[in-house]
Structure 1
Amino acid sequence: MTVLLLKTNKQNYIQNGIYLKLYFYNNGGEKLEHKLTQIDESLEGIKCVFLDLDGTIYLGGELITGALEFLNRCDERGIKKYFLSNNSSKGVKEYMKKLADLGISAHKENILLSTHDLLAWLKANDISETYLVGTRGMARMLEEKGISTTSVNPQYVVLGYDTQITYEKLEVASVHLHSGVPLVASHPDMVCPGPNGGLPDVGAYLALFKTTTGVDPQHICGKPNPGMILHKIAELGLSVNECAMVGDRIYTDLAMAEAAGCHGILVLSGEATLEDLKISPQTPSLVVNSIADLL
């Protein structure tokens, strides 16, 4: 079932053929209606989709039913596809292999990770000495760009989704934070969805460090930062109205779509529920049970 929502009344789930009205305000307080056109599960007029992975394309090691067929329909329609993930535990090559193992062919140019956003931020701030709490795959991505991940005098403690975390890493990072080294995180996600329930993600690690050291991150990369997709939209020469972000998280996927000005499609196959949506400041263009309902 497809559900459209009106920004003005979240309690009314209005089905079939309703124009979605989203309102924004300029600096003078004048109400402006956003120019997003109506969208339904046919994705008519959409030329590019940005696809979350965990909870949208797969759960853990299992492909979500209908995901492969959806991707094939995108190819048939000539819709460009980009795979996005805040999950910084893997590098691009690992994502390519995981997708290939699930029967999905993807080029490295079509995979956009929170680690890419982190690398851009580190470069912009001239940071090359870090202590990383992250996986070996994430460390490789940083080291390939000339960033030390085991510095004894780091400019920043860098926190990623470390599925290989040890108490030693927590101890060393905590000592650095206590000594005044600032913290940057790859993304804000609290949980990583899995077939048996959510698992601790970077947001949970941030809460741990806050409790232990009192330190908050100076910056959090990844979704919902709109720059993760806006640079690609500009590169493709498309308007935001021709693009859609499809994901299972309201506070990252939908928040980024709203910030970028493109369509946001919520799938209920991962983290978010309709109950979550009722209390969320974000309103999607479309809500579907899973990606199988699209196209």
Structure 2
Amino acid sequence: MISPDHYDAYCFDLDGTIYIGDQLLPGVKKVLEMIRRHQKKVLFITNSPTITREEGKERLERLGLEVHLEEMITAPYISALYFAEMSTEVSVFTIGEDAIKKELQNFSIPITDNPLKATHVLVGLDRSFTYSDLQMAMNAVRHCKKLFITNPDSICPVPGGFIPDTMALASAIEVASGQKIDKVIGKPSDMYGTKIIDLLGVDRNKILVIGDRLETDIQLGKTKDFGTCLVLTGVSSEKDLETSLIKPDYVIENLNNLFSYELQHAAGNHGDGSFASF
């Protein structure tokens, strides 16, 4: 049976794991309080390109959770870190909402609205994306030949279903420009995983990643040798597990079950909320 002492640090995805829309998902508060009582480390690791670290912290606090700013990692924040660590001068053309520009500005990264002055194009989810935006981004990519994306998610869970995410827009820009995506900055990138290790300062084998997506959350853990737990409250389903080559260490119905059920073999039935080990 898993207990909070099994790992030294717990990394939680947000959308589909901690909340959907403005609704806190089952078991979240109980699990986080238990982890903190055991004095374990917590990170919130989101691919959301529409929130800054500060906004992510404030959102969780509105939902009644205790959060410290250093416990929050977002795709725009990691993107800004990436550009800040580059050795050459950059001028970034962005497709995305305010969070991306805010985080770039926090690191004094130059931003341009002129496609012909861009050294890189950074694409994130933009819920007001237009044909004009597509044309401008296409021209910028054709000019600089550098197409980066904040995260590889094609959809995002919302109350009642899903909305298109970053990859839906980036794919259109990719096709229009004839330029393949050069770099994915968010989960499951190596950079994202390395920043998690740096921030936590614990052995990677003592880190557990909990998330709702096989191809991002669970793949991130697999590539960095973290423990992995898929929660079935978001995008990936039990049916997806049957066909995916990405196998989590644990599968739970929701966070109520994280410390509640005995581990079972992969062949066991976990559709009732039990805890399966792969």
Bin of the TM-score, shorter chain as denominator length = 0.7 to 0.9
Conserved 8 A contact 2:53-2:77: no
Show CA shifts across 1:199-240 (max 9, x none).
111111122113322221111111002432434435544222
Q: Among 40, 50, 57, which residue is 2:18 paired with?
A: 57
> What secondary structure is seen at the aligned counterpart in 2 of 1:270?
coil
Structure 1 stretch displaced more, 89-98 or 256-265: 89-98
Partners of 1:251 and 1:86 in 2: CA distance: 12
Structure 1 match to 2:94: 132
Letter of the 2:27 partner, please give it. Answer: G
Partners of 1:143 and 1:234 in 2: CA distance: 23
Letter of the 1:188 partner, please give it. Answer: P
Shift of 1:44: 4.4
5+ long unaligned stretches in structure 2 = 260-278
Q: How do residues 208-287 of structure 1 correspond to structure 2 at under 5 angstroms?
A: 208-287=172-251
Q: Among 113, 120, 135, which residue is 2:81 paired with?
A: 120
Letter of the 2:49 partner, please give it. Answer: S
Q: Return the TM-score normalized by structure 2.
A: 0.86
Partners of 1:43 and 1:78 in 2: CA distance: 9
Conserved 8 A contact 1:89-1:163: no
Structure 1 match to 2:34: 73
Q: 1:179 to 1:232 in 2, by over 3 A?
A: closer
Conserved 8 A contact 1:54-1:85: yes
Q: Among 192, 205, 208, which residue is 2:169 paired with?
A: 205
Q: How many residues align?
A: 256
Q: Return the TM-score normalized by structure 1.
A: 0.81
Shift of 1:53: 0.3
Cα RMSD, aligned residues only: 1.8
Q: Among 43, 55, 60, which residue is 1:94 paired with?
A: 55
Partners of 2:219 and 2:92 in 1: CA distance: 29
Higher relative contact order (CA 8 A, sep 6+): 1
Partners of 1:231 and 1:270 in 2: CA distance: 24
Conserved 8 A contact 2:9-2:207: yes
Identity over aligned pairs, percent: 25
Q: 1:220 to 1:229 in 2, by over 3 A?
A: closer
Structure 1 stretch displaced more, 66-75 or 203-212: 203-212
Shift of 1:251: 0.4
Q: 1:135 to 1:255 in 2, by over 3 A?
A: same
Structure 2 match to 1:82: 43
Q: Among 66, 70, 94, which residue is 1:105 paired with?
A: 66
